C-alpha cells in the first residue's frame, strides 16, 4: 500500500517532492525554527530566530539563504524572513566595521625623514 503524500504548510513542494534542493531545505528549516518561536511572545520571535540562526547555522547556509532573501525570500514565513533580514543587516554592518578596522591610518613621514620602520634606532 502506497503512502499518500500530504503537503505541509511552509514546506516547499517541487515536482511532488519535498526539499529537492539545499535551498528548499534551508527554507524549511528557517520556517521550522519559526514554528517553534511562534509559541513565544511576539517580542521574542524575531530575536530568537536571529540568535538561533546566527549561532547554529554554518556560514555557507547563511550565505545561501541571504541570497534567497535578497531575491524576495519566496517560501519563507514572515517571522523567519524578518529575522533573516535583520541578521543580514547585522552581518553586513559587521563586515563594514571589520573592513574599516583593518585600514588603520599610518603617520606620514615628515619631509627629509626616513619612514619609521627604517630609522637608525630600529622600528619607530
Q: Where are the domains of the chain?
A: 18-94
Torsion of the alpha carbons at 103, 106, 111 and 112, rounded to the nearest 10:
-120
Q: What mean pLDDT do residues 58-85 have?
A: 97
Confidence of residue 109 (pLDDT cuts 50, 70, 90): low
Task: Find where cell 583593518 sits.
Answer: 102
Say if residue 52 is exposed, middle or buried (CB neighbours under 10 Å; 0-12, 13-18, 19+): middle
**pLDDT exceeds 80 at position 7:** no
Give the pLDDT confidence of 43-60 residue by residue, as tens digits: 999 999 999 999 999 999
pTM to 2 decimal places: 0.63
H helix and E strand count, the chain: 4, 2
Task: Determine the pLDDT at residue 107.
Answer: 52
Q: What is the dihedral of CA 79, 82, 84, 89, to 10 degrees?
A: -160
Amino acid at each position: 500500500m502506497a503512502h499518500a503524500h500530504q503537503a505541509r504548510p511552509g514546506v516547499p513542494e517541487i515536482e511532488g517532492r519535498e526539499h529537492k534542493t539545499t535551498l528548499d531545505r534551508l527554507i524549511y528549516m528557517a520556517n521550522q525554527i519559526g514554528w517553534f518561536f511562534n509559541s513565544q511572545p511576539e517580542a521574542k520571535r524575531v530575536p530568537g530566530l536571529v540568535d538561533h540562526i546566527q549561532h547554529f547555522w554554518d556560514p555557507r547556509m547563511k550565505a545561501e539563504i541571504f541570497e534567497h532573501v535578497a531575491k524576495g525570500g519566496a517560501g519563507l514565513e514572515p517571522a523567519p524572513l524578518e529575522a533573516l533580514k535583520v541578521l543580514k543587516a547585522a552581518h553586513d554592518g559587521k563586515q563594514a566595521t571589520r573592513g574599516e578596522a583593518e585600514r588603520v591610518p599610518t603617520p606620514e613621514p615628515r619631509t627629509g625623514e626616513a619612514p619609521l620602520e627604517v630609522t637608525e634606532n630600529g622600528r619607530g
